[in-house]
Amino acid sequence: MLRRVVVITGCDSGLGWAVAARSAREGLVTVAGMYGGTESRAAKALNGLSAHTHGLDVTKPESVTEFKDYIDTLVKDNPGYKLHAVVNNAGIMTIGDYEWQTQSIIENTINVNLLGAMRVASAFLPELRRIAIDKQDKLRPRIINIASHCGLQPLPGFGPYSASKAAVLAWTKALRLEHYHHGLTAVAFVPGGFVTNSNLLSSQKQQSLAMLENLDEEQKKFYGRRLKTLTDYLALVSQNTSYDSLKDESIIETYMKALLDENPKELYKVESGRYNLYYNLLKIPMPESFQQWLINKFLSFPKKQ
Which positions are catalytic? 161
**Number of residues that this document lists for the chain:** 305
Question: Who's near 189: CB < 8 A, 6+ residues apart?
Answer: 144, 145, 146, 147, 254, 255, 258, 267, 268, 269
| DSSP label of 27 | T
- 235-257 in b/e form (b: 16+ CB < 10 A) is eeebeebebbbbebeebbebbbe
Task: Report phi then psi at 5, rounded to 5.
Answer: -105, 130
Q: CA 294, CA 299: separation in Å to the nearest integer?
A: 9
Torsion of CA 45, 241, 86, 151, to 10 degrees: 170
21 close to 274: Cβ distance less than 8 angstroms: no
Task: Report phi then psi at 12, rounded to 5.
Answer: -75, -20
- 144-160 in b/e form (b: 16+ CB < 10 A) is bbbbbbbbbbebebbbb
